[in-house]
């Protein structure tokens, strides 16, 4: 305790805590007397100050805080809570803060306190009116959502770019045979195009989840104050409009305490990372087997073995799933069991989302580039497509189409496979087994030409023309549908960016009437 008192005037270093407390007239003097605008001198020092601080991390929401401050001050002036001249002085001080950037702020517990202290230092006592009718609780909650919207849109751009790369591969390689696997064992022949569409579809759902999450992020908590509203005649809808939010979080307590939108974003990103991890694993395995040639830009070599070409970037993409999972689990663990309304634990919640969105967005861009620049050796892939008697199911289907119960057809092909001792059985071998198992010659069900065709990987793929199948026509249809969905999602993202840009211009125009 003695050490705390001895250091009570020490400066703090840090930024975005969600600390309680609205500005009280008279506290502004502390901003120039060795304390801070929020804490004064009593709570401005001590060894725990650095522990409490989030200043460095808050560089990320510096611009968001300026926007939130400006919208709040404009609203205060419009409602007559501060006069126009006072609003102009505050807004001019915020312009100075913006020019000097985050690095020009004084020490503070968080960026919100530091900006307020700087505004008071520039504008004098009138700067203390900036925080009227709000708390850092609703302020920081708004700043997080304001910045997170942009990050979600960046993540969506990366996901959509990856989808575009996959759709292009699917279109170009619609007829490129390749082996398909289950349990990493040869299963059925498919095509590179069909494989690429499988991941394009998964990422399309990820984009849907991120778009849905965006809509819930895009609600304003501003005006909720500490958690119980304010007696001032504020207009929450106006500040939401100026900041480009689609509406407000209605309940004031929910507005400052809610972080489920962070969970939703982190969860969607973890899903993206999981899909990317599977994509990366496939490409690592394909590279090992000579089924794909990755561009040098997405590969590396050994420091000692010069002949090596390693898929290092994709291995790191694969590892990102662990980072995303850790971020989501860390966030959920931080939020678990918190009472209403605000608790300082929330200061540690947001970094989990920042780190997750950064890691996943970067990994998605890398994966998209690797896919877009990869080459697919058609000859090697076609040769491998029929390995392990992967055409067996097609022959069984031929028999089933001739009214043989599928389980009996399955038995015929299983026996034929055993007789062939790992190789694809000949038509003659299959005919002998059919007669032995079914008691009739194979010609009673299918002629030799039909069975021979089913044994051919290319014809085998062509047979599978059901919706979503690997037949070239089915893949072409899938490409068209995927491209249409992608175009719609790209337009949705562009529309959201346009709305944010328009709100930013509107806020700047309103600010200019006071400055």
Q: What is the tens place of the pLDDT at every residue in 171-192?
A: 999 999 999 999 998 889 999 9
Bridge partners of 1? none
Residue among 283, 294, 357 nearest 327 (CA): 357
Cis peptide before 341 (omega within 30 of 0): yes
CATH number of 138-383: 1.20.200.10
pLDDT at 74: 98
pLDDT at residue 58 in the model: 75
28 pLDDT above the threshold of 80: no
Residue 92 has pLDDT above 80, yes or no: yes
- Judge whether 365 counts as a catalytic residue: no
* Model pTM score: 0.87
Ordered by start, the domain boundaries in the chain are 2-132, 138-383, 392-455
Given pLDDT bands bounded at 50, 70 and 90, which one contains residue 365?
very high
Residue 180 pairs in a beta bridge with 188
Q: What percent of the chain has pLDDT over 70?
A: 86
Sign of CA dihedral 500, 503, 508, 514: negative
Tokens representing 416 are 């034929």
Average pLDDT, the chain: 88
Q: Which residue stretches of 310-349 are H helix?
A: 312-335
* CB-CB contact of 76 with 133 (8 Å): yes
The two tokens of residue 306 are: 């010069």
Kindly indicate the confidence band of residue 113, based on its pLDDT and cuts at 50, 70 and 90.
Answer: confident
The set of residues, in sequence order, having a beta carbon less than 8 Å from that of 99 and lying 6+ positions away, is none
Pairs from 79-84 (Cβ < 8 Å, separation ≥ 24): 79/232, 79/233, 79/234, 79/235, 80/233, 81/132, 81/133, 81/232, 81/233, 81/234, 82/129, 82/132, 84/514
What pLDDT was estimated at residue 37? 60
pLDDT, average across residues 70-82:
98
Catalytic residue from among 186, 299, 302, 365: 302
% pLDDT > 90, the chain: 72
Q: Tell me the pLDDT band of 55, cut-offs 50, 70 and 90.
A: low
Q: Which one is catalytic: 17, 72, 117, 183?
A: 183
CATH of domain 2-132: 1.10.275.10
Active site residue 352: no
Per-residue confidence (pLDDT) for residue 473, from 0 to 100: 97
Structure tokens at 253: 């307590």
Helix, strand, coil shares, percent, the chain, to 5:
65, 5, 30
Residue 380 has a pLDDT of: 96
Work out the pLDDT band at 278, boundaries 50, 70, 90: very high
């Amino acid at each position: 305790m003695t050490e705390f008192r001895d250091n009570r005037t020490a400066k703090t270093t840090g930024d975005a805590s969600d600390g309680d407390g609205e500005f009280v007239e008279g506290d502004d003097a502390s901003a120039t007397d060795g304390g801070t605008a929020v804490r004064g001198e009593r709570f401005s020092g001590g060894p725990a100050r650095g522990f409490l601080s989030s200043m460095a991390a808050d560089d990320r929401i510096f611009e968001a805080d300026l926007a939130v401050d400006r919208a709040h001050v404009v609203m205060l002036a419009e409602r007559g809570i501060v006069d126009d001249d006072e609003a102009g002085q505050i807004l001019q001080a915020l312009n100075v803060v913006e020019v000097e950037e985050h690095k020009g702020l004084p020490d503070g517990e968080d960026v919100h306190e530091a900006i307020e202290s700087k505004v008071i230092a520039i504008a004098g006592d009138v700067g203390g009116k900036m925080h009227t009718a709000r708390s850092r609780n609703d302020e920081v909650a708004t700043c997080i959502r304001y910045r997170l919207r942009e990050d979600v849109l960046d993540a969506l751009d990366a996901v959509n770019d990856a989808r575009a790369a996959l759709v292009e591969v699917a279109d170009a390689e619609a007829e490129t045979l390749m082996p398909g696997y289950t349990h990493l064992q040869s299963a059925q022949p498919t095509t590179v195009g069909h494989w690429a569409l499988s991941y394009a579809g998964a990422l399309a759902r990820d984009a849907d989840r991120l778009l849905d999450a965006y809509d819930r992020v895009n609600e304003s908590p501003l005006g909720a104050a500490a958690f119980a509203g304010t007696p001032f005649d504020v207009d929450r809808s106006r500040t939401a409009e100026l900041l480009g939010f689609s509406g407000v979080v209605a309940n004031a307590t929910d507005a400052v305490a809610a972080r489920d939108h962070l969970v939703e974003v982190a969860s969607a990103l973890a899903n993206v990372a999981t899909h990317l991890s599977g994509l990366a694993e496939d490409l690592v395995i394909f590279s090992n087997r000579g089924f794909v040639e990755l561009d040098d830009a997405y590969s590396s070599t050994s420091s000692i073995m010069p002949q090596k070409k390693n898929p290092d970037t994709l291995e790191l993409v694969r590892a990102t799933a662990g980072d995303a999972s850790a971020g989501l689990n860390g966030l959920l663990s931080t939020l678990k069991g918190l009472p209403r309304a605000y608790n300082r634990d929330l200061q540690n919640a947001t970094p989990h989302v920042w780190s997750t969105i950064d890691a996943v967005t970067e990994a998605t861009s890398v994966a998209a580039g690797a896919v877009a620049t990869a080459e697919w050796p058609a000859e090697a892939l076609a040769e491998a497509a029929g390995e392990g008697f992967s055409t067996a199911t097609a022959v069984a289907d031929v028999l089933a189409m001739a009214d043989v119960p599928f389980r009996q057809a399955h038995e015929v092909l299983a026996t034929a496979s055993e007789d062939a001792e790992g190789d694809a059985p000949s038509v003659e071998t299959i005919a002998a087994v059919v007669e032995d198992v079914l008691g009739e010659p194979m010609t009673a069900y299918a002629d030799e030409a039909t069975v021979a065709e089913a044994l051919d990987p290319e014809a085998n793929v062509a047979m599978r023309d059901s919706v979503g199948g690997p037949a070239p026509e089915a893949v072409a249809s899938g490409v068209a549908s995927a491209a249409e969905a992608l175009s719609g999602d790209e337009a949705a993202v562009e529309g959201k960016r346009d709305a944010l840009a328009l709100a930013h211009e509107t806020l700047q125009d309103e600010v200019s009437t006071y400055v």
